[in-house]
Amino acid sequence: MPPRVLVPYDREIVESIQRVFGNEATAIQTGRDAESLLEHPDAVAIISGRVPREYILQASGLRMIQTFGAGVDRIDHDALLQRGDVVLCNAHLNAEEVAEYAISLLLALAKNLVVNDRTFRNGDWTYRYGGPRPNIELRGKTCLIIGLGHIGAQVARRLQSFDVTLKAATRSGTTRHHDLVSSVTKFTELKSFVREADFVILTLPLTKESRGLVDDRFISWMKPSTLLVNISRGPIVDEGALFTALKEQRIAGAALDVWWNYPQDRDDAPCWPSKFPFHELDNVIISPHRAAYSESIVKEQISFVAENVLRFLRGDTPHNIVDLQCGY
């Protein structure tokens, strides 16, 4: 019997994955909760970005978890380390698309695009004659990219054409993308880099080390004119500290695609993404975590994840194995 692979997604996705599997594996549609998943204890792999801890600890046949996206923070790394016999792989396919979106958010903030649109829809021409907030030029400015991995590097590559001085911070304090930035620092030594930055873009994974990285202290290093873009994960930022700083205009603005609070499922009642009313602030652009959702990405992800699972099942080393100690 071909190995069984759990796919807790819509039928259409399960069928597309099965087409790539052919006769080599069977894709099984399941629910997302541990109970439904544990109905198939013999399944060798699961394709999902959200896997309950209980399932990881009890699924005796499980040997591989493959996610659709780049973030692996909703999978319990401690449970995987405890087991020691399950490989976790992510997908980095959406890096270019997410980079385009991060830059779109930066431009939208710098050029007041959202506030212009909102005001002009009321027939108000205030911003035609200048208005309170002149657009901010990108040229000549300094941008700090925190996390120079797949996405950060694509952001840097694209921002070069805006004549921006690019600096980066990484976990190690080094990078293989030296050609893209003028200097790089370790995330524990950020102070002078943050002080110089006109723009800060967060493109790092959420890990034990990065949680709360952008806190009161970090924000106190930012200039009142600095703009922050976050496309990584909400909890890397202290939501109260950011909200207060924006409200008091201690920093100029923020564009946020990622949040602290999410509905559990697509059909859940609407909910606010933070306990603070970011949506009431004029210097904030809010976006419902959709930086990676583009025309062709779902198709590309389906073939990548299915091929990567097959690679593993055939005994080859799969792509993008997550280092469970580092958390990404």
Q: For residues 31 and 288, which CB has a smaller minimum distance to ligand NAP in the complex?
A: 288
d(CA 294, CA 100): 11
Tokens of 129: 């004659």
Query: Of 4, 36, 34, which is closest to residue 17 (Cα–Cα)?
Result: 4
Binding mask 5-44 for ligand NAP (x = CB under 6 A): ----------------------------------------
* CB 270, min distance to ligand NAP, A: 20
Binding mask 140-179 for ligand NAP (x = CB under 6 A): ------xxxxxxx----------------xxxx--x----
* CB 314, min distance to ligand NAP, A: 25
Which residue has the closest beta carbon to ligand NAP? 149
What are the Cα distances from residue 159, in Å, to 153, 163, 175?
10, 7, 17
Under the phi-then-psi rule, with left for phi > 0, alpha for psi from -120 to 50, and beta for the rest, what region is 315?
A: left
Q: Helix (H, G, I), strand (E, B), or coil: what is residue 30? A: coil
Question: If DSSP states are collapsed to H, E and C, what string results for 191-238?
Answer: HHHHHHCCEEEECCCCCCCCCCCECHHHHHHCCCCCEEEECCCHHHEC
**Binding residues for ligand NAP, total number by CB under 6 A:** 36
Among 32, 53, 74, 92, binds ligand NAP (CB under 6 A): 92
Binding mask 179-208 for ligand NAP (x = CB under 6 A): --------x---------------xxxxx-
Q: For the chain, first and last CA: distance in Å?
A: 34
* CB 86, min distance to ligand NAP, A: 19
Q: Kindly tell me the sign of the dihedral angle through the C-alpha atoms of 295, 300, 301, 303.
A: positive
d(CA 108, CA 180): 23
With contacts defined by CB under 6 A, name the span among 3-11, 21-29, 91-99, 215-223 that binds ligand NAP: 91-99
Rg (CA), the chain: 21
Applying the rule CB under 6 A, the residues between 249 and 308 that interact with ligand NAP are 257-258, 289, 291-292
Q: Does residue 89 bind ligand NAP (CB under 6 A)?
A: no
Query: Residue 121 has what DSSP assignment?
Result: T
* CB 101, min distance to ligand NAP, A: 7
Binding site residues, ligand NAP, CB under 6 A: 69-71, 92, 94-95, 98, 146-152, 169-172, 175, 187, 203-207, 209-210, 231-233, 257-258, 289, 291-292, 328
